[in-house]
Amino acid sequence: MNKKQAEKRIKELRAILDYHAKKYYDEDSPEISDFEYDMLMNELKNLEKEFPEFITKDSLTQKVGGNVKEGFEKVEHVVPLQSLQDVFSYDELREFDIRVRKEVTPKYVVETKIDGLSVALEYKNGIFVRGATRGNGQVGEDITENLKTIKTIPQKLKENIDIIVRGEVFISTKDFELLNEEQEILEKPLFANARNAAAGSLRQLDSKITASRPLSIYIFNVQKSDTIKFTSHYESLLYLEKLGFTVNPVKVLCKNINEAIKEIEKIGENREKLSFGIDGAVVKVDDLAQREILGETFKTPKWAIAYKYPPEQKETILKDIVCQVGRTGAITPMAILEPVKLQGSTISKTTLHNEDFIKEKDLKIGDTILIQKAGDVIPEVVSVVKEKRTGEEKEFVMPRTCPVCGSIAIREEGEAVLRCIGIECPARLFRSIVHFASKNAMNIDGLGFSITKELLDRNLIKNIADIYYLKLEDVASLKKNGKKFASNLINAIEASKSNDLSRLINALGIRHVGTKTAKTLADKFRNIDNLMNATLLELAQTEDVGEIIALSIKNFFEQEQTLDIIAKLKEAGVNTEKIVEELIDNRFKGQTFVLTGTLEKYSRDEASKIIERFGGKTSSSVSKKTSYVLAGSEAGSKLDKARGLGVNIISEDEFENMIK
């Protein structure tokens, strides 16, 4: 590569890496794997090494990625939180050792490189006073209140000392799976990986959100201590444990680089057994005086290095493709593989995501395929080894009915996912019941995740209608001394029978039908039978509905499962009629309100009902036709749009004056 070509490629790489660094560090939503990012960074480092005249201060090779998020106070680190130089081979580790031994005769500490978010914790007189993210290494974000919600961070140490320590906040593999399961049930976007789930959780402006996430921390370094002086890193880690910190559990003192490499190999072989994700292993010089001699660059210390495990690839046979049904009704193809050993574990199946993925990879049953783990726990299909095809391979066709309940399966335009729409489907029953009982649906207080799971596990309910046939003694058996709880839950179930039709429509979980559309449907069709018997044209001509939602509603009410559930709900005494609120007067007739932000005096539901009783209506989006935007605290994009369109913006006090 000549000088001109190198300059062009360096500029290209910097632009690509800057984009992906922003996605990873600032937005916590990566678009490429860690391995792909590392390979791009490695290419840039090598080019800058060969052509040093093109090195600039703003290159990611010269700084730590990440910026301070708006909304957080800036914290200037007393001791910079540096990053580590990455290497990808044992030869590079030995080269590192040669450089070190030119200056000192070292012992090394090998630790797992935990895949999380790096933070600094500051203690005064043994009390936790401040915590910050790494940020750009020099300046981070003050996230003290969020860090206080993590149970493994001690608020008070066992000794009254002043100390700053560094650790990695993470979510365990098991907790990450449960977190994504909950996201799926609530129909929220899934987290890409545990690292980004942890980073996103920790960088929330609302500490209540952070507190709801299963975060943990491992401490791995003393940044500064005026009270205690250490001679070795390993010694400092043992002392941190005595103070009450949860220290990185994998920390091994090695006499030389060969012992360190053996330990790295051991970690690689056993990484599947770890309860937390790692993206490599770290080798550190143990003697702190030797570290002073070796020194550091602006970005990285010269006394430590990070080894990244290369993705291991193996060939295997795609024996079959079967479909699984998730809790939202998503039907996912799963590859059944000839068992193969990969990175310490035996792989016999893996997800194929959706129909488009199978077509894109040109997968056929019987193919020889290449699979890998690129630093992640879940194996992935890389490609088909087409030269090994025999002609006996079979095409796979996605089913058009649910493999669990037999209901029709629908793939909507613009979506990659095939979905079961059966309301009684056992695979999606848990999610259906949780949604049915939720606040914006039937609002059955007490019927949350854990109680729903217990009811299903004990076969006390088999569909949403069964909720209304529960007996006091059935519910009481779920908890020790559970009579009071049972009484409250049965009362909440009974009270939900008198809800308005709009709540019931929303609770049924019809795809694309939320609170607003359910209210519109209830207003137009007045009872559940009229809605069930409506033609596709009648549905499509309803305000806020349209063709896609109309088809979804029509398909839903054509299922025998749906008809069965509606009949059982009626029999149980659940209201299926529109409850007509008494109209006070028509002062808001022809006017549309949009509610945004947090209202202090009313819930949004209460404010909407008041508007309707004065002849007005509410909408979920701002347009030129919007009459008023009722804005509470922390109003966001809707308020900005209203200002841009010149729509009247009113406060709660102004709203109260309007309804006097």
Reported as a single tens digit per residue, the pLDDT across 429-449 is: 988 999 999 988 999 999 988
What are the pLDDT digits (tens) for 269-304? 888 788 888 889 999 999 999 999 999 987 899 999
Q: Which of 405-419, 480-494, 552-566 has the lowest mean pLDDT?
A: 405-419
pLDDT band at 381; cut points 50, 70, 90: very high
pLDDT band at 90 (very low <50, low <70, confident <90, very high): very high
pLDDT above 90 covers a percentage of the chain that reads 56
| pTM greater than 0.75 | no
Q: Does domain 312-388 have CATH number 3.30.470.20?
A: no
Give the fold, CATH level 3, of 592-659.
Answer: Rossmann fold (3.40.50)
Could you give the CA distance from residue 555 to residue 30 in angstroms, rounded to a whole number?
Answer: 37
| Total residue length of the chain | 660
- 74-307 adopts what CATH topology? D-amino Acid Aminotransferase; Chain A, domain 1 (3.30.470)
Quick check: 366 pLDDT over 60? yes
Comparing 181 with 529, which gets the higher pLDDT? 529
Q: Per-residue pLDDT tens for 294-330?
A: 999 878 999 999 999 877 788 999 999 999 888 778 8
Domain ranges of the chain: 3-54, 74-307, 312-388, 421-571, 592-659
Beta-carbon contacts of residue 65 (< 8 Å; ≥ 6 apart): 21, 24, 25, 83, 136
Q: What is the pLDDT of residue 357?
A: 93
Residue 278 φ then ψ, to 5°: -130, 155
Catalytic option among 4, 69, 113, 554:
113
The domain 3-54: what is its CATH number?
1.10.287.610
Greater model confidence, 216 or 346: 216
Are 472 and 466 a contacting pair, CB within 8 Å? Answer: no
How do residues 8-56 score in pLDDT, each as one tens digit? 888 888 888 887 777 766 665 666 766 677 778 888 888 888 888 878 7
Can you give the pLDDT at residue 190? 76
Q: How large is the average pLDDT for residues 401-414?
A: 88
CA distance to 28, 326, 405, 597, per residue, from 187 (Å): 19, 11, 21, 22
Predicted pLDDT of residue 91 = 95
**Number of other CB atoms surrounding residue 439 within 10 Å:** 10
Q: What integer best gives the mean pLDDT of the chain?
A: 88
Residue 381: strand, helix, or coil: strand
pLDDT at residue 319, as a whole number? 96
The average pLDDT across 221-230 equals 90
Q: Is 113 a catalytic residue?
A: yes
Taking the domain 421-571, which CATH number applies? Answer: 1.10.150.20
**What percentage of the chain carries pLDDT values higher than 70?**
95
Pair of tokens at residue 532: 């069930």
Per-residue model confidence as pLDDT tens digits over 160-207:
999 999 999 999 988 988 888 787 777 677 787 788 888 888 888 778
Helix (H) or strand (E) holding 547: helix 546-557
> How far is the C-alpha of 497 from the C-alpha of 141, rounded, in Å?
49
**Tens of pLDDT, residues 114-151:** 989 999 999 999 999 999 999 888 999 999 999 999 99
- Judge whether residue 595 has pLDDT over 60: yes
Point out which residues pair with 224 in neighbouring strands.
164
